Amino acid sequence: MSTQHAAGRYAPSPSGDLHVGNLRTAVLAWLFARTTGRRFLIRMEDLDRAVAGADARQLDDLASLGIDWETPVVHQTERRDIYRAVIDHLRDAGRTFECFCTRREILEAPSAPHTPPGAYPGTCRNLTESERAEKIAAGRPPAIRILADTTEFTVTDLLHGTYTGAVDDFVIQRNDGTPAYNLAVVVDDAAQGVDQVVRGDDLLSSAPRQAYLATLLGETPPTYAHVAMVLNPDGVRLSKRDGAVTLAALAAEGISAATVLSHIARSLALAGRDESVDLSTLASRFDPDALPREPWLLGAAEWTSAP
């Protein structure tokens, strides 16, 4: 499937402006790629939700921090036919099944012994043709799930070491026909030669599923680096609801993109308190082993001591 090699990437969802947490992860993804001689790519993961113009604003914000990337920028909505071809391939190989369960039914279904909380309990795995026909006739469109032959898979993470996580019969196509994230991200990384995935550590638990799917498609899973998140003062993952956390909102308060980059660098132990830096300087200092493993707690006072 893949004809290109050695790339890292940043893959935001264009559902709005990037906040400081998103930008910090993008800086880290760029640093990991550039300091290991990899190409750096941007991919817009817009299958679920996209706000008009958000992709362009996100690219402008990344560029304002000094991040550069190879063109073109890929949009997942332009690749639906490719995802469907992969889903058809898996179906023809006997690696999928139709699932008619609602989310509530899955949560309320009894689980088999040793099944991790929230894992799919296998309700529709062995439906007969007549049972499937009955559900379709009742007007319930099916999702498509992978038919997993394992319950766990192990990945290598540069920050977390060897990580083994649960694998269940996860969805690869939703019941509205939309290819699922877990499929699209694997197909795209393989097609683009992405062999290094840097993203927030809230996604660590999804890596085993994606790596397992990559092996089913004959691909080598990437090496992962799940980096610490940015949290608000209450210890909750940062979001735009936390106020002035996007570049546009911070600029309205007189805080420049250069200042934001310097504060991000300080949070990564790559800059002194009052030091102004650029990405080339950060690349010369970058050591993955020295990165903080704890979240960055970001409050309004963070910006009162601008470098």
- The answer on whether 13 is annotated among ligand-binding residues is yes
- The answer on whether 179 is annotated among ligand-binding residues is no
- The answer on whether 120 is annotated among ligand-binding residues is yes
For tokens 């050695």, the residue is 6
- The answer on whether 240 is annotated among ligand-binding residues is yes
- The answer on whether 209 is annotated among ligand-binding residues is no
Catalytic: which of 57, 75, 132, 240? Answer: 240
- The answer on whether 241 is annotated among ligand-binding residues is no
Give the DSSP letter of residue 220.
P
Contact 164, 152 (CB under 8 A): yes
The number of residues in the chain equals 307
C-alpha to C-alpha distance for 56 and 108, rounded to whole angstroms: 42
Contact 211, 153 (CB under 8 A): yes
C-alpha to C-alpha distance for 6 and 4, rounded to whole angstroms: 7
Annotated active-site residue 240? The verdict is: yes
C-alpha to C-alpha distance for 81 and 69, rounded to whole angstroms: 25
- The answer on whether 12 is annotated among ligand-binding residues is yes
- The answer on whether 101 is annotated among ligand-binding residues is yes
- The answer on whether 305 is annotated among ligand-binding residues is no
Count of CB atoms situated within 10 Å of the CB of 245: 24
DSSP notation for 61-112: HHHHTT---EEEEEEGGGGHHHHHHHHHHHHHTT-EEEE---HHHHHHSPPP
For tokens 């660590």, the residue is 204
C-alpha to C-alpha distance for 144 and 185, rounded to whole angstroms: 16
- The answer on whether 145 is annotated among ligand-binding residues is no
Residue 92 backbone zone (phi > 0: left; psi -120 to 50: alpha; other: beta): alpha
Residue numbers belonging to the annotated binding site for ATP: 240
Binding residues for Zn(2+): 99, 101, 120, 124
Binding site membership: which residues?
Answer: 9-13, 45, 99, 101, 120, 124, 181, 199, 240
> Binding site for L-glutamate: what residues are annotated?
9-13, 45, 181, 199
Residues carrying an active site annotation: 240
